[in-house]
Amino acid sequence: MIDSMPESGFEEEGRPNGELRGHEVIRGYLSGLDSSPGVYRMLDAAGGVLYVGKARQLRNRVSSYARPSGHSARIGRMISATASMMFLTTRTETEALLLEQNLIKQLKPRYNVLLRDDKSFPSILVTTEHDFPQIKKHRGARREAGKYFGPFASNGAVSRTLAQLERVFLLRNCSDADFAGRTRACLQYQIKRCSGPCVGHISAKDYGALVQEGLEFLGGKSSEIQQRLALEMREASEKMEYEKAGALRDRLAAMAQVQVSQGVNPAGVSQADIIALHQEGGQACVQVFFIRANQNWGNRAYYPRTGGSADAAEILEAFMVQFYDNKPPPPLILLSEPVERPDLLEEAFSAKANRKVALLLPKRGEKKELVENALRNAREALARKLAETASQARLLAGLAKAFGLPAPPKRIEIYDNSHIQGAHAVGAMVVAGPEGWMKSAYRKFNIKGESLTPGDDFGMMKEVLTRRFHRLVKEDPNREKGLWPDLLLIDGGAGQVSAVRAVMTEMGVEGIAMVGVAKGVDRDAGKEEFHISGQRPFALPHRDPVLYFVQRLRDEAHRFAIGTHRAKRSKAIGATPLDGVPGVGAARKRALLAHFGSAKAASRADLADLKAVEGISGKMAETIYSYFRENG
């Protein structure tokens, strides 16, 4: 199996005539190809990648493009634009499949199906290296020791489940450092969401029993736990231990609430992903439902770029390979549509998961009902998306008219700064386009200019735009990748617009419209003034939808800037002298704080005391001791 392949692995084989295009140039490559599996690229005249494909037999696949007719409109356009090709053979078709999708994610070819949102999913972690394990939300690499349960579709799904689990099993969610430093029970104990192990309200043995029940519940054994709790409640009631019986009753009620909040809980499907596709209006929606331990752990909608209306089989195959690139597939994947090579996908996914993975297109029963439910969700989500896109198109057209643009903008970048009297200054850029917010394109900037006067908004905006366009010129000098904005919205008036215009002139950047959005009279929303170089400031009618649209754009930039500023400020406030010690990461920092009670106390500790801290080696203790003596 391969994860990536160097660019040099590709070979461009003899083009007989540099002026040829389309099926004629493709036909020229056939003599140099054999029946090996591999990956091919189709390139336009400028060398841009049009399409990346895989083949069980390269010669057979490429020969299909050499025919002058019999292609769909999408494939016909792609062939017509092809000026050259590149090839790489692989040992197996499975390797070709994985390499193909890696290249698609890297290169984002125009005619390929592309999963545009590939964020990791949150999970629940029950730690195991503490006498009183913690239950918490986790995202990212699974480096911490413990038992992981997931994926959940969203942070909200995890938070809801955690809140209910705390009510049912009374497990702590505080950090180890907080646990070690407590002298009395916290609010979680007071509201009956924790058993209070930090102050000895429960023994390690009894707490361990709660942890085991929690693990069993997350593993799908909820009915057994409910039966056991019901029996214990009856026994406590018969012994007139009414307080204990009431606590067990509350736990049973909370467990029932967890199951109700999960909605669909299939009895016959213990662990599976349900993937359903709906296409309409040239767009596609893929709904993914996560079933784990016979419980519904949420769903998420995806809107892959279809490369110009690819067919269902191609969309599903490309989606699944990209989707499972950074996460293990479950034992069973239920599909709404057939794929061309299910055996190939099963082989690739089984190798990734180190166990058998099956793809199934159910025809009847509970599995069919689950797929139909996911398909209904996909259909409804795409209908909402299409309605939003139509509305967005009208607003962009109105924006073009209001600001005198030659066409509706395809990419709007909105900028804002945030600081408190110049401290912890940050700049923020948010991006919007025909399909709404482009959150993967958001950027934040730590203001670095040492010569700036604190609170110099003009200087900060100039620094942000200078850094932004320096990078843009470097990454996309020919403006071919769609990274350049059509319109800049600047939070501010004529001064900010002049500062940005000076940056653009200095860098030789032309052809980008720029509008300053000032608060206007009394700084009231609805009275904004718009500033464009060479024009008098103007306003839009109070109830104009375009005005509301601009307000939403500006407010999103402001929200993002404020959030970035608060995060930077909180990090600075939470910083300790331990942060600068070489080799002291989060785990050692927690150990030192738990042992000494504060970073200040740790910095004053002698060498013997530092060596006594669990997890701190003699050599590390000497490093810490020397650091504080040299920098004290």
Contact assessment for residue 319 and residue 275, using Cβ atoms and an 8 Å cutoff: yes
Q: Which H helix or E strand runs over 322?
A: helix 312-323
Query: How is the beta sheet containing 332-335 ordered, strand by strand?
Result: 295-302, 283-292, 271-280, 332-335, 358-360
Q: Which is the CATH superfamily of the domain at 577-630?
A: 5' to 3' exonuclease, C-terminal subdomain (1.10.150.20)
Q: For 528, which DSSP code?
A: -
Distance CA 460, CA 98 (A): 44
The token pair at 211 is 């942890």
% of the chain beyond a pLDDT of 90: 32
Contact assessment for residue 348 and residue 98, using Cβ atoms and an 8 Å cutoff: yes
Residue 495 has pLDDT above 70, yes or no: yes
What number is the average pLDDT over the span 4-17? 46
The alpha carbon dihedral of 536, 541, 546, 550 has a sign of: positive
The token pair at 184 is 């009395």
Range picked from 93-102, 149-158, 162-171, 410-419 for highest mean pLDDT:
93-102
Mean pLDDT lowest for which of 268-277, 376-385, 469-478?
469-478
Distance CA 46, CA 110 (A): 14
Residue 619 has pLDDT above 70, yes or no: yes
CATH topology for the 412-571 domain? Nucleotidyltransferase; domain 5 (3.30.420)
C-alpha distances in Å from residue 320, one per residue of 116, 317, 327: 13, 5, 11
What number is the average pLDDT over the span 568-592? 71
Residue 59 has pLDDT above 90, yes or no: yes
The token pair at 393 is 């198109």
What number is the average pLDDT over the span 41-62? 92
Distance CA 31, CA 34 (A): 8
- Which of 68, 215, 189, 57 has the alpha carbon at shortest distance from 128? 215
Distance CA 48, CA 505 (A): 29
Q: What is the pLDDT of residue 118?
A: 65
Give 195's contacts (C-beta < 8 A, 6+ positions apart): 170, 171, 172, 189, 201, 202, 206, 207, 210
Residue owning tokens 């090709």: 85
Contact assessment for residue 591 and residue 614, using Cβ atoms and an 8 Å cutoff: yes
What number is the average pLDDT over the span 534-561? 89
The token pair at 160 is 């809801």
Q: What is the pLDDT of residue 3?
A: 40
Q: Which H helix or E strand runs over 49?
A: strand 49-55
Q: What is the pLDDT of residue 36?
A: 92
Contact assessment for residue 356 and residue 343, using Cβ atoms and an 8 Å cutoff: no
Mean pLDDT lowest for which of 23-37, 309-323, 518-532?
518-532
The token pair at 104 is 């698609």
Q: Which H helix or E strand runs over 212?
A: helix 204-218
Q: What is the pLDDT of residue 320?
A: 94
Question: What are the residue ranges spanned by the domains of the chain?
Answer: 7-107, 271-383, 412-571, 577-630
What number is the average pLDDT over the span 574-582? 69
Residue 110 has pLDDT above 80, yes or no: yes
Q: What is the pLDDT of residue 92?
A: 92
* Residue 414 confidence class, pLDDT cut points 50, 70, 90: very high
Q: What is the pLDDT of residue 6?
A: 39
Q: What is the pLDDT of residue 5?
A: 39
Residue owning tokens 């200019």: 449
Amino acid at 147: K
Q: CATH for 7-107, among 3.40.190.290, 3.30.1490.20, 3.40.1440.10, 3.40.50.720?
A: 3.40.1440.10
Q: What is the DSSP string of 139-202?
A: -S---SSEEEE---SSHHHHHHHHHHHHHHH----S-HHHHHH-SS--HHHHTTS---GGGTSS
- Which of 55, 100, 37, 2 has the alpha carbon at shortest distance from 320? 100
Q: In CATH terms, is domain 271-383 a member of 3.30.420.340?
A: yes
pLDDT tens-digit profile of 192-211? Answer: 889 999 999 999 998 998 88
pLDDT tens-digit profile of 340-398? Answer: 889 999 999 999 889 999 999 999 999 999 999 999 999 999 998 888 888 899 999 99
At residue 619's C-alpha, the angle toward residues 617 and 622, to 5°, is: 110
Question: Per-residue b/e over 436-447, b at no fewer than 16 CB within 10 Å?
Answer: eebeebbbbbeb
- The values of phi and psi at residue 455, to 5°, are 85, 5
Residue 453 has pLDDT above 50, yes or no: yes
Distance CA 466, CA 500 (A): 8
* Residue 632 confidence class, pLDDT cut points 50, 70, 90: low
Average pLDDT, the chain: 83
pLDDT tens-digit profile of 134-175? Answer: 999 988 878 888 899 878 888 887 887 888 778 878 889 888
- Which of 109, 139, 133, 120 has the alpha carbon at shortest distance from 40? 109
* Residue 7 confidence class, pLDDT cut points 50, 70, 90: very low
Question: Which ranges of 42-122 does DSSP label H, i.e. alpha helix?
Answer: 58-65, 73-81, 93-107
What number is the average pLDDT over the span 454-474? 81
Do the domains spanning 271-383 and 412-571 agree at the CATH topology level?
A: yes
Distance CA 359, CA 320 (A): 11
Residue 229 has pLDDT above 70, yes or no: yes
Distance CA 312, CA 486 (A): 33
Q: What is the pLDDT of residue 464?
A: 86
Higher pLDDT, 106 or 253: 106
Q: What is the pLDDT of residue 257?
A: 63
pLDDT tens-digit profile of 581-614? Answer: 787 877 788 788 778 877 778 888 888 888 888 8
Q: What is the pLDDT of residue 222?
A: 63
% of the chain beyond a pLDDT of 70: 88
Give 537's contacts (C-beta < 8 A, 6+ positions apart): 493, 494, 518, 529, 530, 531
Q: What is the pLDDT of residue 301?
A: 92
